[in-house]
Amino acid sequence: MNTKLVHVAVAILYRDGKFLMQLRDNIPTIVYPGHWAFFGGHLEPNEPPEIAVKRELQEEIGYVPPVLNPFRNYEDDRAVRHVFHGELTVELKDLVLGEGWDMGLLSVEDIRRGNCYSEVAGSVRPLGDRHQRILLDFVESQTKM
């Protein structure tokens, strides 16, 4: 594990062929402001990624899926993203947004296009480029199974 890079754990949550995403706050000082992104966040010191992703989901939406499986790790010049996936087994209305501007279920078409409308924002908002790439990789991996 490269300890010089920031380590984050994120979750791909899906239901009925759509993917749960968070619209990040539109604050210029954060990474991907006003973009659709995954729920998840930074690992605490010595915290395993599989524990961090569950903690972050509980904090951000008040929900942790019954099963979360590892997908892949993605490393770039800024971070190592530990990506997990699991089924969203509750309705969107049953989630409590604890962090972010909005949340929504994005279709594969939204992901391929790279944006989605947010009622809360009142506009079409972009997907984070890395989030889009990871989701496209995930969709492709599922069609090969």
Nearest-angstrom CA–CA distance, 115 and 128: 9
pLDDT value of position 96: 97
pLDDT value of position 143: 80
What region, left, alpha or beta, does residue 58 occupy, with left being phi > 0 and alpha being psi -120 to 50 degrees?
A: alpha
pLDDT value of position 61: 98
Could you list the mean pLDDT of each consecutive 10-residue stretch along the chain, which spans 145 residues? 82 97 96 96 96 98 98 95 98 96 98 97 97 97 78
Record the pTM: 0.94
For residue range 13-23, what is the model confidence (pLDDT) as tens digits? 999 999 999 99
* Residues 83 and 73 sit within 8 Å (Cβ to Cβ): yes
Nearest-angstrom CA–CA distance, 127 and 129: 6
pLDDT value of position 68: 98
